[in-house]
Amino acid sequence: MDAEMTVRKALMQADRGDHAAAVATLRQLVDADDADSVVRVRALVILGDMLSSQGDRPSARPLLIEAVDMAERLGEVDDLLDHELMRARELLD
């Protein structure tokens, strides 16, 4: 399964209320690939957001920082990623 499909799988798991499975799916993705990519940024933000909303801000913070830093290295991003980054910055404040 490619990275984009893995992110979609995690979002479907979260939509069904299976947050533990969604977190596990996203962790597996970010642990498996450390290359700079738009999909990795999205996965980091979504995972950070989920952890933060579950009260685990200490675990979420480094993921969100990595996502913002990576997005800045990537340069131009699309509207969807722009929205994700805005959310990451909100959570970091």
Tell me the per-residue pLDDT of 10-39, one tens digit each, with 9 for 90 and over.
Answer: 999 999 999 999 999 999 999 987 766 888
How many domains is the chain partitioned into structurally?
1
pTM: 0.85
| CA dist., res. 41 & res. 75, Å (int) | 12
Domain that holds residue 80: 3-92
Q: What pLDDT is stored for residue 89 in this prediction? A: 85
CATH code for the domain in which residue 7 is found: 1.25.40.10
